[in-house]
């Protein structure tokens, strides 16, 4: 029975796959955090005016907020 | 928004010369392009010259060290430092505007319809319910053959829903308004895993579904035929969550699992392109930043974190000493400035993504918050809880 060979074969396969994967990950192009952070910020600022949670939607147009009727005292 | 790190070469394999999707392989330090079949054969060959199991393992360790070094080189500043010049956020008034009652047990998952109004939710009691969140009326209900329906999703067309859990499957139900039709009769089984289904999501059409499972894999399926289109192996334990990249940024998705890792995958090749292992416990939830250049995660280690894909590292941690319970579910507001996170201590914390501070804490649920999604137009978000209810906040 070559079961031990098969087991070793898959251990080697696993180890080789791990090394391949790490080689690939180590080799990708990266950007400095300062640049990446600035871009995240910029996106946020540009989109801020269309973000209902930041800008606020008046109760009249937000379907989830009740329209409070006027109470005449 | 170029993603230079995607592995999506298509061409002639260097070994068999067939036209396939190719991935890089290294043979004696030379880089070649093999199709996945030849790569697999090469990986399981006997030992090559000068190679032992021990040498491969030590090479792996060296590479891990190199990876950390490369990432550290670019860590020149923190996100919150860059965000110092940004105006602080004002006070937020967010309240429960609707409470959806009807599930008989813990709510485990929910999803919004693209119409910004309908919601699908699934529960431990085996029921999947479609609600009109404006009126709180139930429009459809189906009983699954299993309990613990841990995943549910709305189809982009709004005409179907997908769900699954302890049955190890993901099934699609077309939604019909014909009172005479039984929803369960038109059920279509699409995905088959060898352990529970933890998450599912339609891609940008009704035709394909991405699933995550307790069997440690993710998979992409064709809805019509039930055929497996691609499988994603790499997590060392149960995969708990996934999120697709915003459609403009390409064919990738991120997954999180019990192995404490968050992994980014290329949907076409099945390869993991980036992996992040900074959480100290299970990663329960992952969600892309609206630009597609980053993603947030929520974990049992009581923190949420932000990972930037271009810098290839964690760039922010959202935590407080007073928060000691796991975060189960996270989602961004439309601009990405706010991160809503549901926790196992029954609360929802709202974080300023850029500055790293908490801006609000929301009370209301009477048990763990298990699921949370912002509506498609960003006007509200919905949370589901083990207290059997869903709440819509605005």
Per-residue pLDDT tens for A4-61? 555 555 677 788 888 888 888 888 889 999 999 999 999 999 999 999 999 887 777 7
Over residues B208-258, the pLDDT tens digits come to 999 999 999 999 999 999 999 999 999 999 999 999 999 776 799 999 999
Select the residue from A40, A43, A48 to test the B interface by mutation, using most B Cβ atoms within 10 A: A40
Minimal-distance CA residue of chain A relative to B273 = A25
Highest mean pLDDT (candidates B17-21, B185-189, B211-215, B246-250): B211-215
Whether the Cβ atoms of residue B148 and residue B155 lie closer than 8 Å to each other: no
Output A16-22 pairs: Cβ under 8 A, ≥24 positions apart: A16/B42, A16/B43, A16/B56, A17/B43, A18/B56, A18/B60, A19/B26, A19/B56, A19/B59, A19/B60, A19/B63, A20/B24, A20/B25, A20/B26, A20/B39, A20/B43, A21/B234, A21/B272, A22/B60, A22/B63, A22/B64, A22/B67
Angle, alpha carbons B73-B76-B82 (nearest 5°): 150
- Using the CB atoms, write b or e for B59-84: b if 16+ within 10 Å: bbeebeeebeebbeebeebebbebbe
Select the residue from B1, B4, B60 to test the A interface by mutation, using most A Cβ atoms within 10 A: B60
Q: Which of A10, A22, A57 sits opposite B60 (nearest CB)?
A: A22
B90 has a pLDDT exceeding 80: yes
Q: How far is A70 from chain B (nearest CA, A)?
A: 20
Residues in chain B closer than 8 A to A37 (CB atoms): 77-79, 82-83, 308, 311, 315
Minimal-distance CA residue of chain A relative to B272 = A21
Residues in chain B closer than 8 A to A22 (CB atoms): 60, 63-64, 67
Whether the Cβ atoms of residue B302 and residue B310 lie closer than 8 Å to each other: no
**What's the ipTM?**
0.82
Q: Do B74 and A31 touch (CB under 8 A)?
A: yes
Q: Do A36 and B310 touch (CB under 8 A)?
A: yes
pTM: 0.86
Q: How far is B146 from chain A (nearest CA, A)?
A: 33
| Chain Cα centroid distance, residue A43 | 14
């Amino acid at each position: 029975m070559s079961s031990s060979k098969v087991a070793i074969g898959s251990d080697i396969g696993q180890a080789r796959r791990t090394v391949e994967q790490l080689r690939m990950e180590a080799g990708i192009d990266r950007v400095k955090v300062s640049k990446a952070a600035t871009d995240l910020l910029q996106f946020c600022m540009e989109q801020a005016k269309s973000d209902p949670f930041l800008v606020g939607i008046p109760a009249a147009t937000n379907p989830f907020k009740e329209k409070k009727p006027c109470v005449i005292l | 928004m170029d993603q230079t790190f995607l592995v999506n070469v298509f061409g002639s394999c260097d070994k068999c010369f067939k036209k396939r999707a190719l991935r890089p392989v290294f043979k004696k330090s030379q880089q070649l392009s093999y199709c996945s079949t030849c790569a697999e054969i090469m990986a399981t060959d006997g030992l090559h010259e000068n190679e032992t199991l021990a040498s491969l393992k030590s090479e792996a360790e060296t590479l891990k060290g190199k990876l950390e070094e490369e990432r550290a080189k670019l860590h020149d500043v923190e996100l919150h430092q860059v965000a110092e010049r940004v105006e602080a956020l004002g006070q937020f008034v967010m309240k429960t505007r609707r409470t959806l009652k009807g599930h008989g047990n813990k709510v485990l998952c929910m999803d919004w319809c693209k119409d910004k109004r309908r919601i699908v939710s699934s529960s431990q009691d085996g029921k999947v319910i479609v609600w009109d969140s404006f009126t709180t009326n139930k429009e459809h209900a189906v009983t699954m053959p299993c309990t613990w329906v841990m995943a549910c999703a709305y189809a982009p067309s709004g005409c179907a829903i997908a769900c699954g859990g302890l049955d190890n499957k993901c099934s699609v139900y077309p939604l019909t308004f014909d009172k005479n039709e039984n929803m369960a009769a038109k059920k279509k089984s699409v995905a088959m895993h060898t352990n529970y289904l933890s998450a599912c999501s339609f891609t940008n059409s009704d035709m394909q579904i991405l699933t995550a499972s307790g069997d440690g894999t993710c998979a992409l399926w064709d809805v019509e035929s039930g055929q497996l289109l691609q499988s994603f192996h790499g997590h060392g334990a149960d995969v708990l969550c996934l999120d697709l990249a915003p459609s403009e940024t390409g064919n990738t998705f991120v997954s999180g699992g019990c192995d404490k890792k968050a992994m980014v995958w290329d949907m076409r090749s099945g390869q993991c392109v980036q992996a992040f292992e900074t959480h100290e416990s299970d990663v329960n939830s992952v969600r892309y930043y609206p630009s597609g250049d980053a993603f947030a995660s929520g974990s049992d280690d009581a923190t949420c974190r932000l990972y930037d894909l271009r810098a290839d590292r964690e760039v922010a941690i959202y935590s407080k000493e007073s928060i000691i319970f796991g975060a189960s579910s996270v989602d961004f507001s439309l601009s990405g400035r706010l991160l809503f996170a549901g926790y196992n201590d029954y609360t929802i914390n709202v974080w300023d993504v850029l500055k790293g501070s908490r801006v609000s804490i929301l009370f209301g649920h009477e048990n763990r918050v298990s699921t949370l999604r912002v509506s498609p137009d960003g006007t509200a978000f919905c949370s589901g809880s083990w207290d059997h209810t869903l709440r819509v906040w605005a």
